[in-house]
Structure 1
Amino acid sequence: MSADLISRDPYLKRLQEEGFELEIRELILLIHSVPYVTGDMLLGRGTLVCTLSLDTEGLTSTPQTDHTMWFTGEMPCHRDGSPMTNIINHSAEATVGSDIKVRHYFSSKPEGTGQYANIYDKVVTYESHLGSAARSYDKTANARTGIMLASTEDDSPFAIPDSASSRYGIVTANRKLSGCIAIIGLGGTGAYLLDLATKTRVAEIHIYDDDQLLNHNLFRSPGAPELELAKDFPRKVDYYATLYARMHYGVKPHPKRVTDDNIDEFADYDFVFVCVDKGSSRRVIAEGLVRLGIPFIDTGIGLGVNENILDGCARATFVAPGTPWKDVTTHLSFGDDDEEANVYGTDIQVAELNSLNAIMAVMRWKRWLTFYRDERNERNATFMIEGNNITNRRI
């Protein structure tokens, strides 16, 4: 994807054609071999570093949204050895992305709008700041070395460039969300779960459901429906796999119900989200996942209506590997005829409660993986509509 971006983007391509040593890692641009003057009034070479902002077509934004640069070398100086305080905002060791070590942070706004018209102008300007001093010692000192670097192809599962992670400084945190996960049930909550999961770096997202996509399903799923895909009443998993292939390469559909006969295939997954409303199915899935030692989150919503006012709850129960079965049964209902099952089986669902239930589950999963801080370590969380509150309990 990195090499493809350079070939498609006219400004990056121009930089490369002029001889700049470009490398792209996780949508972070590195310009290597930039000449500069050290504090000892010697020539050195360092690397300019900046995150890339992209437009809706996946090309570098015009104008640029950020006017700053990082630098990896020693303190860059003028010809007389005095630091370039005109462009140095501050100097401190830092890490950009997951592993790019930098030492200086530059800030040099262009006159007028304060924004560079494009990435080409930005790179050339910063190279000129450093290189002009270097060329006063050696006229041949230039970042245009003509060396063609093979841009690093990262292991991104995304079908579009992930410009958000580098932009917001969460590359390392996002890499904690890896491996293969599964979502059982693509009703309202499961569909929202899939939407959120496709924004993460998990390698594969396996989705299980044997139902067809019907019109009422579209009113409790994220986004506007793709009517062309939905017109022939496809299986839910096939519809969503096609839809989200635009975002994530790893969505794998399984148009089948999870039973005793196939539960063992979940041994290949790192985490499972369970979004079913039938108690007997929940028992089969929970027993199997506990036996296999696979961590999972079981979700559920219960809504009732009285005098045209809806009330109820949304629940997310986390079961870690090694959890005793008696603790699992504390919060999960497995009967199809008991009181709780009747509440969960009323079949009243609304998009906002489905989406909230999915958010509760995804955030608990991310805290399990230390993407978010977790000081409570709750195993069951229940949101109550009437009080607008979430109660947390440890199993």
Structure 2
Amino acid sequence: MLNQRYERNLPLISVKQQRALAGVIVAIVGLGGLGGYVAELCARIGIGSLIIIDGDVFTGSNLNRQRFSTEYNLDKSKAEETKRALHEINSETKITAHTVYLKDDTNIIYVQDADIVIDCLDNITGRFLIEKFCISLKIPLIHGSLSDWDCQYGFFFSERSLMKKIYSHGTATKFEQKANLPGVPPIVAAMQVNLLTLYLTESEKLKVNNLYRFNILSQELVSLDLN
């Protein structure tokens, strides 16, 4: 079975690229609606090392949409439960779990070994902080957020803040709302991991510093250049 694990990845990515994925360290910040699905997809595609970060525990309100939330792990650490589940999916992926909230500049230590960070948070303050970390460390950031029927995601590699452009004119409040149906987070998570794959395979199709906004009801996709 293990020899067959990645055969369906080929030839969409080459054997050389598949091997390269095994040498990458990806940090995932936030393990709620987005983060659980992102972590699962990273393990399935063959990312070699994951740093997963979340200080929260699973609660009953998570059961409708969070990938690793079950009736049996309520009140247990999201980071530790996600690590356990990921090990069952891909035992070859090294997983480091941090049961912490990123709150200040000293917390850069939790992502300093990463090659790239994936933003799966649900608050604007945290997003500004991890963007600051990525700028300081000179590593890319893959953003993702959702609210109601609205989704947004993008690949950022900039020396200046792009979050300030995104979260303005009332957008911040909108994307901090908590209403989410179970079919929405997997869409954003899949697109975040697709952007990760494009970056790690050096695809010319990757648009850097570009934000995508998608409304599920209207099926309208808008692409915004943030350069």
**Fold shared by both chains (TM-score > 0.5):** yes
Task: State the distance in 2 between where 1:378 and 1:293 align.
Answer: 14
Are the structure 2 counterparts of residues 274 and 162 from structure 1 closer, same or farther at C-alpha, using a change threshold of 3 Å?
Answer: farther
5+ residue gaps, structure 2? none
Distance (Å, rounded) in 2 between the aligned partners of 1:168 and 1:276:
28
2:31 is aligned to 186
Cα deviation, residue 367, structure 1: 1.0
One-letter amino acid of the structure 2 residue matched with residue 391 of structure 1: V
Inter-partner Cα distance in structure 1 for 2:88 and 2:161? 42
**What letter is aligned with 1:383?**
F
> C-alpha offsets along residues 323-345 of structure 1, whole Å, 9 cap, x if unaligned?
131545222x2x8xx72222112
Number of the residue aligned with 2:212: 381
What residue is the counterpart of 2:18 in the other structure?
174
Q: Secondary structure at the residue paired with 1:198?
A: helix
Distance 1:226 1:220, change over 3 A: closer
Higher relative contact order (CA 8 A, sep 6+): 2
Q: Structure 1 residues 294, 372: CA separation in 2 closer, same or farther (over 3 Å shift)?
A: closer
Q: In 1, distance between residues paired with 2:187 and 2:176?
A: 18
Query: 1:248 aligns to what?
Result: 90
Instruction: Work out the CA distance in 1 between the residues paired with 2:37 and 2:17.
Output: 22
Q: TM (normalized to structure 1)?
A: 0.51
Q: Measure, in 2, the Cα distance between the counterparts of 1:218 and 1:367.
A: 31
Classify the secondary structure of the residue corresponding to 2:223. strand
- The answer as to whether partners of 1:208 and 1:254 remain within 8 angstroms in 2 is yes
Cα distance in structure 1, aligned partners of 2:185 and 2:66 = 8
* Alpha-carbon separation, structure 2, partners of 1:313 and 1:167: 31
Q: Distance in 2 between the 1:176 and 1:302 partners?
A: 34
Q: Report SS of the residue matched to 2:45.
A: coil
Match of 1:343 among 174, 185, 191: 174
Q: How many pairs align?
A: 219
Q: Which has the higher helix share?
A: 2
Q: Deviations over 1:339-376 (max 9, x none)?
A: 22221122001221100010111111111122756165
Cα distance between partner residues in 1 of 2:206 and 2:177: 35
SS at match of 1:182: strand
| 2:207 corresponds to 1:365 | no
Q: How does 1:306-317 map to 2 (within 5 A)?
A: 312-317=149-154
Deviations 1:279-312 (A, max 9, x none): 1221111112111112111211122xxxxxxxx3
Aligned partners of 2:110 and 2:21: how far apart in 1?
Answer: 21
Aligned-CA RMSD value: 2.3
Q: Flag the structure with higher strand content.
A: 1
Does the 8 Å contact 2:9/2:45 carry over to 1?
no
- 2:80 is aligned with 1:238: yes
Q: Distance in 2 between matches of 1:271 and 1:214?
A: 29
Unaligned 5+ runs, structure 1: 1-57, 59-160, 304-311
Aligned-pair identity in percent equals 20
Q: Give the match for residue 289 of structure 1.
A: 134
